[in-house]
Chains A and B, each alone.
Chain A
Amino acid sequence: EVQLVESGGGLVQPGGSLRLSCAASGFTFSNYEMSWVRQAPGKGLEWVSYISSTGSTRYYADSVKGRFTISRDNAKNSLYLQMNSLRPEDTALYYCAKDGSGSGYLFHRWGQGTLVSVSS
C-alpha cells in the first residue's frame, strides 16, 4: 500500500525557515515524480513544487520561486521542501503527492499533510 507521511511543520515567525519531509513507502519511490501541494485553512488547493524521479528537474509556483527548494533522496525514499523567507500567506497544510500518470502532475496519492503556520 502506498504511504506518504509528511513531517516538519510548525509555527515559525515571518522571515523564518522550515524543512518539510515526506517519507514514502509501498512503491518504488525512485521511479516516480513527486510534488508538494498546499491548502490554506478553509481554502482551495495550490500546487507548490515538482521534482522529477531523478531529481534533475524541478519546477516551482511563482508564489514560492526563489524562496522554496524541493529535493529528494531516493536512497532514503524521502522528499523534502526547504522553505526560507516564510510569509504569513505561506500558512497552509502542506501535502506531498505522488504522480500517477507519467505526466508529472496527476496527483494519484497524497499524504495526510503537515501544517505550517507563519505568524509573529
Chain B
Amino acid sequence: DIVMTQSPDSLAVSLGERATINCKSSQSVLYSSNNKNYLAWFQQKPGQPPKLLFYWASTRESGVPDRFSGSGSGTDFTLTISSLQAEDVAVYFCQQYYSTPTFGQGTKLEIK
C-alpha cells in the first residue's frame, strides 16, 4: 500500500495568516498516461464527515473558497490557506486514489 505522511501533525496560525500543510506519498501517484496526480484533500470539522476540497491535487471542488489552494506532483503535495479564517479550523487529510486508497494521518489546524 502507498503510505501517506502529512506534516505537521498540528498547526496553529493567526487569523489572516498563511497556513501550509504538506503531504508526501511513499510512491508516485502521478499516472503517466493522463498526467494526473491521484491525490485529494479533505477538510473535517468536529462531528462532521470529511468534505472534499481538492482532487487531481489542484482542482478545487465547487464551493470551496479560493483562499484554499492545492499544489504538487508525484510524491509531494501541499494544501495552502492564504488567509486563515475562523471557520477553517478543522482537521485536514490527504488521500491517494492511485491504488487501494490510503489517507494521511491528518493535520489539526487551530487558531493561534
Interface segment out of the listed B15-23, B48-56, B64-72, B77-85? B48-56
Q: Which residue of A lies closest to B50 (CB)?
A: A110
Knowing A44-B105, A46-B103 touch, does A105 contact B49 (C-beta < 8 A)? no
How far, in whole Å, are A47 and B40 apart by their CA atoms in the complex?
A: 14
How far, in whole Å, are A34 and B22 apart by their CA atoms in the complex?
A: 28
Q: Which residue of B lies closest to A46 (CB)?
A: B103
| Residues B55 and A106 in contact, CB atoms below 8 Å apart | yes
A54 adjacent to chain B (CB < 8 Å): no
A55 adjacent to chain B (CB < 8 Å): no
With a CB–CB cut-off of 8 A, which chain A residues contact B52? 100, 106-109
Report B30-73 CB contacts with A as 1/0, cut-off 8 Å: 00000000101010000011111001000000000000000000
Q: Which residue of A lies closest to B55 (CB)?
A: A106
With a CB–CB cut-off of 8 A, which chain A residues contact B105? 44
With a CB–CB cut-off of 8 A, which chain A residues contact B48? 112
Knowing A100-B55, A103-B38, A106-B55 touch, does A47 contact B100 (C-beta < 8 A)? yes
A68 adjacent to chain B (CB < 8 Å): no
With a CB–CB cut-off of 8 A, which chain B residues contact A105? 97, 100-101
| Residues A101 and B101 in contact, CB atoms below 8 Å apart | no
With a CB–CB cut-off of 8 A, which chain A residues contact B55? 100-101, 106, 108
| Chain B positions near chain A (C-beta within 8 angstroms) | 38, 40, 42, 48-52, 55, 93, 95, 97, 100-106
What are 21 inter-chain pairs, A to B, with CB distance below 8 A? Answer: A44-B93, A44-B106, A45-B95, A45-B103, A46-B103, A47-B100, A47-B102, A47-B103, A103-B97, A104-B97, A106-B38, A106-B55, A106-B97, A107-B95, A108-B52, A108-B55, A110-B50, A110-B51, A111-B49, A112-B48, A113-B49
